[in-house]
A = this chain, B = another copy of it.
């Protein structure tokens, strides 16, 4: 009757410099000998040789290797059902799109998914859902937790800094999303999972308290990846994205729906996180410090994002997930948010 709460966690989590060149030994260490490799657009040139050499040296058969550039569910179905039956694991190497495509193909075929993000722009590499195009509409669809996560910090360092900023934004967002979640329970609109809450908190706290000199520090990047992975587990424990996706994510989803060229997910989310911390009057100093010290605010200042768009997005936020009850689901907090966009000093500096 009172069964233990059981969750699945990745069996492999390798984060370090040069990991792409160790894919072969990592996979064979788990008795995987048949794989397909999917890479993001343009990444075969960059990383193909390194990965193939390592994988083949380990005696693993590569049944297929190609670049993907679609998250349309119809394309992924074609992809998935063309994979040979002997394949044991599908590796997605690259950014959010190829990660989501490989993750979903694995789910459709009940094969293992190896998540190999080459940037940390979001926590997608560690979540058990995927963001796909279903009938032309971006939709979050259930999939499954990665069997393995492999992150080459050497690769992260050489990617444009904006991807790190985006990851910092997406992780710091847990501060406001968790506060929304607790609020939602207080309003009687949900029941919190205690452990998920605690773990997501630990993930973000461990990160925001990490000392660093540069955001390309090995230690900084490792903490960022580990914390994102751990918040993915919190998500899995909770059985929903609530702990990791609150009002700040609603704002970003709203922006995505009307902006012609949205910014990186975590960048939009990060700005909304600072805004919501002000609205919630909770840990504002911590958020300010992280975004100042990492250069996040400075980076945002270069983008020309618009106050008007954020104001519009605040109004749209509750309709993105009408069944939830975040701060932005109450009019008074939407009014407060809009006023803050207009008047807050930092927001006035980084938005136009």
A80 to chain B, nearest CB (A): 9
Residue of B nearest to A197 (CB): B13
A15 to chain B, nearest CB (A): 8
Query: Please, which residues of chain B bring their CB within 8 A of the CB of A346?
Result: none
Residue of B nearest to A112 (CB): B2
A8 and B9 contact, CB distance less than 8 A: no
A61 to chain B, nearest CB (A): 14
Main secondary structure of the interface of A (DSSP, over half): mixed
A-side interface residues toward B, CB under 8 Å?
1-2, 4-14, 30-32, 73-74, 77-78, 81, 85-86, 88-89, 108-110, 112, 134-135, 139, 141-142, 144-145, 147, 194-195, 198-199, 201-203, 205-206, 209-210, 226-227, 229-230, 233, 237, 239, 323
12 cross-chain CB contacts under 8 A: A2-B147, A4-B145, A5-B9, A5-B11, A6-B7, A6-B8, A7-B7, A7-B9, A11-B195, A13-B194, A205-B209, A206-B206
A88 and B209 contact, CB distance less than 8 A: no
Which of B14, B78, B147, B230 contacts A135 (CB under 8 A)?
Answer: B78
A186 to chain B, nearest CB (A): 14
A318 to chain B, nearest CB (A): 15
Query: Please, which residues of chain B bring their CB within 8 A of the CB of A11?
Result: 2, 4-5, 194-195
A75 to chain B, nearest CB (A): 12
Alpha-carbon distance between A32 and B1 when the two chains are bound, in angstroms: 10
Query: Please, which residues of chain B bring their CB within 8 A of the CB of A8?
Result: 4-6
Which of B139, B142, B195 contacts A10 (CB under 8 A)?
Answer: B195
Across the A-B interface, the 10 shortest Cβ-Cβ residue pairs = A4-B8, A209-B209, A13-B194, A206-B206, A110-B142, A202-B206, A5-B11, A205-B206, A2-B112, A81-B134
Which of B13, B32, B74, B205 contacts A210 (CB under 8 A)?
Answer: B205
Highest count of chain B CB atoms <10 Å: which of A12, A13, A139 = A13
A322 to chain B, nearest CB (A): 10
Which of B6, B77, B85, B202 contacts A202 (CB under 8 A)?
Answer: B202
